[in-house]
A and B are shown apart, each in its own frame.
Chain A
Amino acid sequence: MSVLVVVEPDEGGDGLSVVSQETLTFARQLPGDGVSAVLVDAVGEPDDSVLTHCREHGVDALYVTDDERLQRYAALAWARVVGAAAEASGAAYLIAGGTARGNEILAHAAAVLEAPMATNVVSIAQPEPLEVERQVAGGAVLERVALTGEPAIASVAGHALAPEPAQAPGQARVERVTAELADADRAAQVVRLEEREGGDTSALTGANVVVGAGRGVGGAEQFADVEALAARLGGAVGVSRVVTSLGWRPHHEQVGQTGSRIAPDLYLACGISGAIQHWAGCSSSKTIIAVNTDAEAPMVTKARYAVIGDMHEVIPAVLEELG
């Protein structure tokens, strides 16, 4: 009755991703008798920082692969690796973070095992038989579902809970798994990675400060003060979908249900109404400050602090105050 967690390395090379740490925290609440992990999207000897996080999170065994054919990402091939680890560990639960990779690899595993799967789970409603609550409709609604598969397969909504170290550290024993790979398992494989010009935008999901900008900005040409404030605070710019739909900013800056989920120390949301789909991506921020002309906007009423007024007057004044 063990739990197997699919974990991903941190983009910046610092151990496991934050979502993977959250997912391990969630997995320890399941009624299994021990947590193992399988490292995806990384081939060969795991970094020390990965092992440190695994130990902290009570991981007994960390399954890794040495298969060089996986250097370039192929979801189905990784699902085979996960399947091999599930078999080796006798997993009764197969859990991943609700990231693009996590959901994709799990869905392949679920298809191979012909087992049901629940995405975006936030809590365990009942351990046995297992019932969980998951976010649906962009986070506006919680759905209670019975999770009957063997193994039970679920992804955990990003930032639904905070990562906490385990009470007793784990051994994080490294175990190598080999999966039989057919050519068809790599028919859909990344052939090329094009780095984004202007550098790294994992800046957004990893940033301590995000300055958010919505339709209230007024136009593509009016981001100078938003960018200046983000730079001054050492943070990143995040935007609403209206902003990307209007073509003012690229989609990878979008925060929300169909964009990125962020959890910075500060989210300064300027000219954003705070629709549920946007809130789904920013609600885990530690402190939210809204700047909005409308004191009744949901972003304002849900925020911890607010300034009522025109963002293009407030931001320059803040920049001046910061010196």
Chain B
Amino acid sequence: MTDVLVCVKRVPDTSGEVVLTADGDAVDGRYAGWTMSAHEECAVEIAAGVAGDSGGSVTVLTLGDEDSVEQLRAALAVGAGEAVRIDARADDYGPADVAGAIAEVARAREAAGQGFGLILVGNDAADTGDHQVGIRLAHLLGRPVVAGAQEVTAADDRLEVRVGTASGTEVYDVPMPAVLTVLEGGVEPRYPNISGRMKAKKAQIEVVEPGVAPQGSGRLGLRVLPPPESNVEVLGEGAAAAPSLVAVLREIGVVR
């Protein structure tokens, strides 16, 4: 039986236009909306798979303000059974701080006899992209960690972890308890069904105080790059543009 902790972060959805807050200190999600990172959606899916196969549980955790309950509920709707929110402003926390706060929760659970055999985080958060929380967490807990996990199978207290690279797949075999940082591409996150949504709506969310004082991320400010001025040269429309397109290919030397 493997009990899994999966950590998700509320991030602004930046697929559309990006707007900063008035003080230039954060990305303003009021217009674009909020989401969790794609990697974390895959992490939730992997968590559900590993726990489901072994009769274990899935707990989803976030460090964030009250609004981040939305992301916890999204995970509850697709396989997590319990949710914990570390009550803090995520922007005040650097990746080492987040790792420290998650480690505190994991240790407290362990001390209460409910340790997590597997902790999953995303490879990198969609907003800050620090690539650090999982690895720092593993060091704090003295556990092995594999970064970029795409497919995971658990058996006999070990994990087979598959990581895609340019030339193929690297396979790891690691003992539990372990930490994995998950990269999208290996599993297909499921969509919530009606009963999942109902369950998520009613679920209790445990709120805990952060066990660390944050040092911060060193952020001094943000700026959005102005869109480059368009200098596109339209070569034409449809099939009729083929000769001019090929002329460009010759000009830049990719065909002779």
A-side interface residues toward B, CB under 8 Å? 11, 73, 75-76, 100, 103-104, 107-108, 110-112, 114, 116-120, 131, 135-138, 140-148, 155, 184, 187-196, 200-202, 204-205, 208-209, 233, 241, 244, 247, 250-252, 254, 257-258, 260, 265-266, 275-277, 286-287, 289-290, 295, 300-310, 313-314, 316-318, 320-322
Contact = CB atoms under 8 A, between A and B. Distances in A.
Nearest to A312: B239
Contact of A200 (B20, B142, B167, B172): B167
Contacts of A244: 185
Contact of B168 (A193, A204, A304): A193
Contacts of A309: 237-239, 241
Contacts, number: 247
25 contacts: A11-B166, A76-B145, A112-B139, A116-B218, A117-B132, A135-B129, A137-B129, A140-B18, A188-B174, A190-B172, A193-B168, A233-B255, A252-B164, A252-B185, A265-B252, A265-B253, A276-B18, A286-B252, A287-B248, A289-B245, A307-B235, A309-B237, A309-B238, A314-B241, A321-B246
Nearest to A276: B14
A308 B220 contact: no
A320 B238 CA distance: 14
Interface residues of B, number: 83
A209 B255 CA distance: 10
B219 interface: yes
Contacts of B175: 187
Contacts of B12: 137
Contact of B172 (A189, A201, A247): A189
A314 B245 contact: yes
A215 B134 CA distance: 33
A115 to B, nearest CB: 9
B131 A184 contact: no
B221 interface: yes
Contacts of A110: 132, 136
B215 to A, nearest CB: 8
A41 to B, nearest CB: 11
Given A148-B218, A302-B232, 8 more contacts: A103-B124, A137-B12, A250-B185, A257-B126, A287-B252, A309-B241, A314-B241, A321-B242
Interface stretch (B50-58, B110-118, B201-209, B223-231): B223-231
A244 B254 CA distance: 27
Going nearest first, the 7 A-B pairs with the smallest beta carbon separation are A251-B185, A309-B238, A317-B242, A317-B239, A202-B166, A187-B144, A111-B139
B150 to A, nearest CB: 8
B238 A252 contact: no
A147 B147 contact: no
A277 B124 CA distance: 14
B233 A306 contact: yes
Contacts of A144: 219-223
